[in-house]
Amino acid sequence: MKDLLKKLSEAHGASGYEENVAKIMVEELSLVSDSVEIDKIGNVIATKGTGDPKIMIAAHMDEIGFVVQHIDDKGFIWFILIGGFYDPTIFNSRVVIHTVKGEVFGVVGSKPPHLMEAEEKNKPIKWNELFIDIGCNSKKETENLGINIGDSITFDQSFRMLDRDTVTGKSMDNRVGCLMLIELMKRLNNPKCTICAVATVQEEVGLKGARVAASKLKPDYGVILDVTFGIQPGVKDREVNARLGKGPVITYVEAGGKGLMADPKLSKKIIDIAKTNNIPYQIEVTHGGMTDGAIMYITGEGIPCISVGIPTRYIHSPVEVLDIDDVKAGIVLLMKFIESF
């Protein structure tokens, strides 16, 4: 499981550029599903089982990233953001630019502190003042490497084990959900209902893939797999109460009601299952952050949905941290939930 998570985490796929991740998902899901397809927008849809109800289980493939906007005369690359960032997390990062000729590595640079005035040092870092240095000295040199406006850019960050079963890496949001989709389909034997495992695109820029997939599949129920906030210094206990290693998180309310409002019957059902089977779980409501469920549950005539999240620290950074034990418990809980139908 860790090897597959490493493979998924280190794959590159900013919103709208998910092809590399989709390739992994197709390869893995084809081994354990009745059918696999890629729809017109790029969602990977794997199906297993027949009969009612039809349950759509969604996890998004995309990660936050950047796109080349401009190459200046000195060969430096300027970019725009794709997805939500806290600007200081970009500062001095290593990145990969994905070109028609292959990967080009670079670093995010800024003015040296030695040359800054006092007021410059004290002002917040802004993304649009940062640039990417790939070691070239002219626009022509940069373009000769195959770099063009519109190329996607992602963090250059390796997967690492920390203490116990805790891991860190980029794009755990939401490659861990993709891992759970694959593991779930592996373990489902002759389900008595229809399971549609959907690896969605463009979640980070407006939940777009989930809308398309839900419109196409018209499921009876939806389950969203994603990350959620984990306790860490700097956040208040009343804002975040999910701890790493204490089980997956069932979310009742996302983004103060602007996101998913979980179906009460499904929420009670999955919590009862967790209690009956002694599966650790946690509960949360949030005033920030949305998942694919925010759009799925209001698609068509409405789809009752729940969200199962993995507690994760430093979300939307290149060093996201989570506990594999929560992933394992989440998979078991989902298995029992599906079997209950």
More confident residue, 76 or 116: 76
CA dist., res. 195 & res. 51, Å (int) = 9
Query: Domain for residue 323, yes or no?
Result: yes
Q: For residues 259-287, b (16+ Cβ closer than 10 Å) or e, as one string?
A: bbbbbeebbebbbebbeeeebebbebebe
Q: Are residues 17 and 130 in the same domain?
A: no
**Are 151 and 99 spatial neighbours (Cβ–Cβ below 8 Å)?**
yes
Q: Are residues 125 and 185 in the same domain?
A: no
The predicted-structure confidence for 261-270, as pLDDT tens digits, reads as follows 999 999 999 9
The predicted-structure confidence for 12-63, as pLDDT tens digits, reads as follows 999 999 999 999 999 999 999 999 999 999 999 999 999 999 999 999 999 9
Query: Domain for residue 111, yes or no?
Result: yes
Band the pLDDT of 70: cuts 50, 70, 90.
very high
Band the pLDDT of 330: cuts 50, 70, 90.
very high
**Are 267 and 234 spatial neighbours (Cβ–Cβ below 8 Å)?**
no
Closest CA to 295 of 233, 234, 213, 211: 211
Strand, coil or helix: 121: helix
Query: Domain for residue 141, yes or no?
Result: yes
Could you tell me the pTM of the whole model? 0.95
How are beta strands 65-71 and 54-60 bridged, if at all? unpaired
Query: Domain for residue 267, yes or no?
Result: yes
Q: Are residues 180 and 260 in the same domain?
A: yes
Q: pLDDT exceeding 90 applies to what percent of the chain?
A: 90
CATH number at residue 328: 3.40.630.10
Q: For the chain, what is the domain count?
A: 2
Band the pLDDT of 123: cuts 50, 70, 90.
confident
Residue-level pLDDT at 131: 97
Q: Are residues 77 and 192 in the same domain?
A: no
Query: Catalytic residue among 63, 183, 203, 320, which?
Result: 203
Residue-level pLDDT at 280: 98
Question: Is residue 231 packed enough to be buried (19+ CB in 10 Å), middle (13-18) or exposed (0-12)?
Answer: middle
Residue-level pLDDT at 255: 92
Q: Are residues 219 and 292 in the same domain?
A: yes
Q: Are residues 279 and 230 in the same domain?
A: yes
Q: Are residues 214 and 312 in the same domain?
A: yes
Closest CA to 267 of 288, 286, 253: 253
Query: Domain for residue 165, yes or no?
Result: no
Q: Using the 3D structure, point to which of 129, 155, 181 is the last residue of a domain.
A: 155
Residue-level pLDDT at 113: 81
Q: Which amino acid is at 20?
A: N
Residue-level pLDDT at 53: 97
**Section 178-202 average pLDDT:** 96
Q: Are residues 291 and 184 in the same domain?
A: yes
**Section 151-175 average pLDDT:** 95
The predicted-structure confidence for 274-288, as pLDDT tens digits, reads as follows 999 999 999 999 988
Is 37 an active-site residue? no
| Average pLDDT, rounded, for the chain | 95
CATH number at residue 100: 2.40.30.40
Is 219 a residue whose pLDDT tops 90? yes
Query: Domain for residue 164, yes or no?
Result: no
Tokens of 79: 């970019």
Q: Are residues 318 and 207 in the same domain?
A: yes
CA dist., res. 61 & res. 12, Å (int) = 10
Closest CA to 72 of 142, 145, 144: 142
Q: Are residues 176 and 88 in the same domain?
A: no
Residue-level pLDDT at 186: 96
**Section 310-335 average pLDDT:** 97
Query: Domain for residue 160, yes or no?
Result: no
The predicted-structure confidence for 235-246, as pLDDT tens digits, reads as follows 888 889 899 999
Own/partner long-range contacts of 100-104 (Cβ < 8 Å, ≥24 apart): 100/146, 100/148, 101/145, 101/146, 102/146, 104/134, 104/145, 104/146, 104/147
Q: Are residues 98 and 219 in the same domain?
A: no
Residue-level pLDDT at 248: 98
Residue-level pLDDT at 238: 84
Q: Using the 3D structure, point to which of 105, 130, 155 is the last residue of a domain.
A: 155
Q: For residues 316-340, b (16+ Cβ closer than 10 Å) or e, as one string?
A: bbbebbbbbbbbbbbbbbbbebbee
Is 111 a residue whose pLDDT tops 90? no
Query: Domain for residue 137, yes or no?
Result: yes
Domain that holds residue 311: 2-63+170-339
